[in-house]
Structure 1
Amino acid sequence: MSYVHPDGTVDDSINLKPKITLLNGITVIVGSIIGSGIFVSPKGVLEQTGSVGLSLIIWVGCGLFSMVGAHCFTELGCMIVKSGADYAYIYEAFGPFLAFLRLWVESIIVRPCSTAVVALTFSAYVLEPIFPDCDQPEDAARLLAAVCIVVLTVINAVDVKWATRVQDVFTYAKLLALLLIITTGVVQLCRGKYEHFLSPFEDTKAGIGTIALAFYQGLFAYNGWNYLNYVVEELQDPYKNLPRASWASITIVTVVYVLTNIAYFTTVSPAEMLASSAVAVTFAERLYGVMWWIMPVFVALSTFGGVNGILFTTARLFFVGSREGHMPEVLSYVQVHRMTPAPAVIFMGLSSLVYLSSTDMYKLINYVAFVNWLAIGLAVFALLWFRWKRPEMERPIKVGLVWPILYCAFSVFLVVVPLYASPLETGMGCVIIASGIPVYLIFVKWQNKPKAFLSVMNKFNMGIQKLLMVVPEEKKEL
């Protein structure tokens, strides 16, 4: 299938095409960041800060910190125009071993677990209006989550434009939901409902440890700000659209998050928020009467778009990892008619379905949560490394050195804090990371593998090629 570039040139090569526009890029980031967190549990920040005022400051601070990270990633993304984000940057700066360990944790736990968790959240909120006063059937929730994953896997495997259209629509839906909450909050303020803001710093918990943990909770809600870098090879005019999309998206999310929290506090007291399992639903039950059910529906729409965002970006991570020889070769193949990384998408979908049978997904994600900040901090450090070791590299965008230094310093803080706050979980995370070392030595480093093994892999690759009509991509200039 021929692809016509925006400048009118026709491209008949078999590889991933730049079909992502600036608007698509914004919805990829916004849709990936805004999941269920802002609807379900802003109480995490409040638990650590103790006061309304400091919690709002933390939400703003987390947005600014994410903006700094995104600013640094625009230089990296325009300097190394490869999909894969921090995996690609770590590979380029520090070699295949560290890059593989990052990919290993992402592929076996973080991404499939996250997809399964968000899909289960989707099913829980779809079923909420049906079972408002009783426990939801567990099998029904898992089945609905599986349907969600399968449907989105098919969409992502068939057409990039379908996937970005889904992301666009469901991003608009979740922004509409938050706009409804914010508008209701404005009405409440106009009605004089601002008693929780009269002493904003009452009961504030002082201490570096509590502030650090509050940032940890808040930054979790901003996770996804770097997702456009995972698909930068498919972004139209990345030198212009990557920084534009990053700045616009994180500004939108920060403003929306802060205003949403303000709206919550017009109706829900700090004590009630700490006791609520889903503050947006509590908010809706108080103010929307018989129409309270629209909030679970909006949360379901939000999480559906979140699953799509994870599938879309993770498939490209696996695609790039396979291209570098870090995952099975077939995952770097492209569907000849649709120009999608179909094997990588299907692999991601199937691995997510496997985790639906697990009861320890949340614990697994907690074990490796600090790895995310370690990897992103290492990627930003790579920017400083390139400035020192490879000053001749072409840099269409060049950020001030103060920003990567600031980001790296705070990343060290975020990595060190869990070592003291959660030593068991951090230790288990280190064990999971270390488990990738023998895998790397056997499957990547060891080149002279037995002929029988290579024969089996070749037959497997050929079988997948015939089944999905996929072939290795044609090399292109990056």
Structure 2
Amino acid sequence: MAKVAATQGLQPKAIDVGEADDNVEKESSEGVRLKKELSLLNGVAIIVGVIVGSGIFVSPSLALKYAGSKGMALIVWVLSGFLSMIGALCYAELGTMIPKSGGDYAYIGEAFGPLPAFLYLWVALFILVPTGNAITALTFAQNILQPLWPACEPPTDAVSLIAAIVTCFLTAINCYNVKWVTRVQDTFTAAKILALLVTFFASLWYLFSGHTENLQNMMVGTNTRPGDIAIAFYTGLFSYSGWNYLNFVTEELKDPYRNLPRAICISMPVVTLVYALTNVAYFAVLTNAEIHASEAVAVTFSEKILGVVSWIMPLFVALCTFGSLNGAIYASSRLFFVGARNGHLPMAISLIDVRRLTPVPSLIFMCLVTLVLLMFNNVESLIVYVTAVEALFTLCSVSGLLWMRYTRPQLSRPIRVSLLLPVVFLIVCTFLVVFSCFTHPIEVGIGIAFIALGVPLFCIFIMWKNKPQWMESACNAFNIACSKMFLCLPEDSKEL
């Protein structure tokens, strides 16, 4: 992870993550640079497409398990949407105040300096992004294979193989052309919203047929233990995760000062409404016992209500997860590209394909890490593990918003949210992190330990300036090999 001044034509720009970048909006007529190709519609499709993925099909049973009752679980889902909306509005202010790609990495760096920013990048690289992608890919594979094994679970090896294939396929599309990525995203976002609306209208038909028993006494059994409520919120928030992904690609968004907040304000209410309706549909058709026993609530729902066409629900789930994985791969690859551009990852990850103008090394590296994590499939532990760590850094980003209002009031803020919103967000997220430690101490402890592991790595690879010559030479050789292998150059280099 050393920041290396590479030789033989590779001249990376060593930038401090906290350094102001006055030229973010400037389009270069020469050299290699990512293009501004994302419209408002594309931005909405990325946010909705990334959010509506595996979570809405995996999390309802876990939310009900910890909430205790259908009524409380529905409250958790709606409040999770409102909390995500508050966070997204705070990020709209951050994204227009600091119009850089990289999301939390850029904001934490501006507010608190390079070490906290590196820790976020370190955790995102090996926990947040690949784990979320792995869960989504496994959910896609599970559902695309389910019709072939209607009476039992598909073989584990087959699920892992299909998950690996779809991850590699979408990575290849992202490497080839950004316009292909946005077309796939727009198409599958529309398909997944349609799929969830079909679920809701099917449940309405079921209710109008006289089956209202499952919606009676919805608050019976409500759990009031703070630790369990915190985990219930984790499962809900996991399903909303991705609301900050458009901030990862701010530099590729047309007119970000207008389109970033607009995309957020359109996307979040749509997702919250669709999620609430989908959960009402599940709760109307399935009993508590059926939801608890199901690993894929949507499939159980379809088997009970759709009869001979129940195979269509696994297909819908596969469509949703395919689009979600596509958007996540696109957006998160820019996070690692920006981190490498700032010297916090190997410079090779910041290289851009000279023909297609895509960050090919970053995409391939992320694909490889995701393939490794496909071997782990304890979804409940992974959700707590990922959401607890993500909540800590989201807390850090929103704290940075408040801190920069105090220390840097001169910064331009095209969007300025009410002070009440970040304060409420901080209080609720602090509650979730603290109380989840009592219910799942091992998962939260592992996440915190992994964050702490990044401190010595930062000292060795970033702060240590007088590195041995053999380390410098090895890094140079690796960077140049990647440049030749993928026909890539650093940003703003002139094409050869």
Question: Does the alignment reach a TM-score above 0.5?
Answer: yes
Aligned-residue offset at 1:214: 2.1
- CA–CA distance in structure 2, aligned partners of residues 178 and 365 of structure 1: 22
2:436 aligns with one of 403, 418, 422: 418
Deviation at 1:263, TM superposition (A): 1.3
CA distance in 1, matches of 2:469, 2:196: 57
Query: What are structure 1's unaligned runs of at least 5 residues?
Result: 1-8
Tell me: CA distance 1:358–1:214, structure 2 relative to 1, closer, same or farther (3 Å): closer
Aligned letter for 1:355? L
| Equivalent AA in structure 2 for residue 241 of structure 1 | N
Report the CA distance between 1:58 and its aligned residue. Answer: 1.6
**Quick one: which of 29, 42, 64 aligns to 1:24?**
42
Among 451, 458, 467, the residue aligned to 2:485? 467
Deviates more, 1:102-111 or 1:185-194: 185-194
TM-score (norm 2): 0.90
* Pair 1:39–1:354, CA change in 2 (3 A): closer
Rounded Cα–Cα distance in structure 1 between residues aligned with 2:462 and 2:403: 25
Distance 1:399 1:33 in 2: 23
Mapping for residues 431-442 of structure 1, pairs under 5 Å: 431-442=449-460
Please identify, of 350-359 and 53-62, the stretch whose mean Cα deviation from structure 2 is larger.
350-359
Deviates more, 1:151-160 or 1:432-441: 432-441
Name the structure 2 match of 1:58.
76
Describe the SS at the equivalent of 2:311.
helix
TM-aligned CA deviation for residue 359 of structure 1: 6.2
1:451 equivalent among 445, 458, 469: 469
Alpha-carbon offset, residue 13 of structure 1? 4.1
**Does the 8 Å contact 1:170/1:305 carry over to 2?**
yes
Matched, 1:190 2:208: yes
1:128 partner SS = helix
Deviations along 1:229-277, whole A, 9 cap, x unmatched?
1111111111111111111111111000111111122211222212222
Distance 1:364 1:215 in 2: 15
* Paired position in structure 2 for 1:172: 190
Deviation string 1:305-364 (CA, Å, 9 cap, x unpaired) is 122122111101100110111100011111112111111111111221222345678756
Q: Distance in 2 between matches of 1:193 and 1:289?
A: 16
Q: 1: distance between equivalents of 2:440 and 2:369?
A: 28
| 1: CA distance, partners of 2:295 / 2:157 | 22
Letter in 2 for 1:282: T
Q: Report the residue type matching 1:189 in the other structure.
A: L
| Cα pair 1:21 1:235 within 8 Å, conserved | yes
Which of 137, 148, 172 is matched with 1:119 structurally? 137
Aligned length in residues: 467
Query: How many angstroms apart in 1 are the aligned matches of 2:139 and 2:296?
Result: 11
For 1:383, give the aligned amino acid: L
Structure 1 residue 116: deviation in Å? 2.2
Summarize the Cα distance change of 1:93–1:25 in structure 2 as closer, same or farther, 3 Å threshold: same
Q: Is the 8 A contact 2:227 2:436 kept in 1?
A: no
Match of 2:159 among 131, 135, 141: 141
Specify every segment of 5 or more residues in structure 2 that has no aligned partner in the other structure, as ranges: 1-26
Q: Which deviates more from structure 2 when the two are superposed, residues 139-148 or residues 227-236?
A: 139-148
Partner of 1:94: 112
Q: SS of 1:448's equivalent?
A: coil
Structure 1 length-normalised TM: 0.93
Is the contact made by 2:234 and 2:383 (CA closer than 8 Å) also made in structure 1?
no
**Residue 40 of structure 1, CA deviation:** 3.3
**SS state at 1:435 partner:** helix
Change (3 A) 1:134 1:205: closer
1:214–1:360 distance in 2 versus 1, CA, 3 Å? closer
How far residue 174 of structure 1 moved from its aligned partner, in angstroms, is 1.4
Aligned-residue CA RMSD in angstroms?
Answer: 1.9
Give per-residue Cα distances to partners, 1:285-322, cap 9 Å, x unaligned.
11211111111111112111122122111101100110
| Residue in structure 1 matched with residue 343 of structure 2 by the alignment | 325
1:420 match: secondary structure: helix
How has the CA–CA distance of structure 1 residues 396 and 65 changed in structure 2, closer, same or farther, with 3 Å as cutoff? same
SS at match of 1:416: helix
Q: Which residue of 1 aligns with 2:316?
A: 298
Code of the residue aligned with 1:330 in structure 2: it is: A
**CA 1:366–1:403: 2 relative to 1, 3 Å:** closer
Q: Counterpart of 1:3? A: none
Distance 1:438 1:361, change over 3 A: farther
Q: In the TM superposition, what whole-angstrom CA distance separates every residue of 1:380-425 from its partner, at most 9, and x where no partner exists?
A: 1111001000000011111111111111111111111122222222
* Residue of structure 1 aligned with 2:245, choices 221, 224, 227: 227
Q: How does 1:274-289 map to 2 (within 5 A)?
A: 274-289=292-307
8 Å contact from structure 2 (residues 206, 305) kept in 1: no
Distance in structure 2 (CA, Å) of the matches to 1:23 and 1:405? 31
Distance 1:41 1:101 in 2: 28
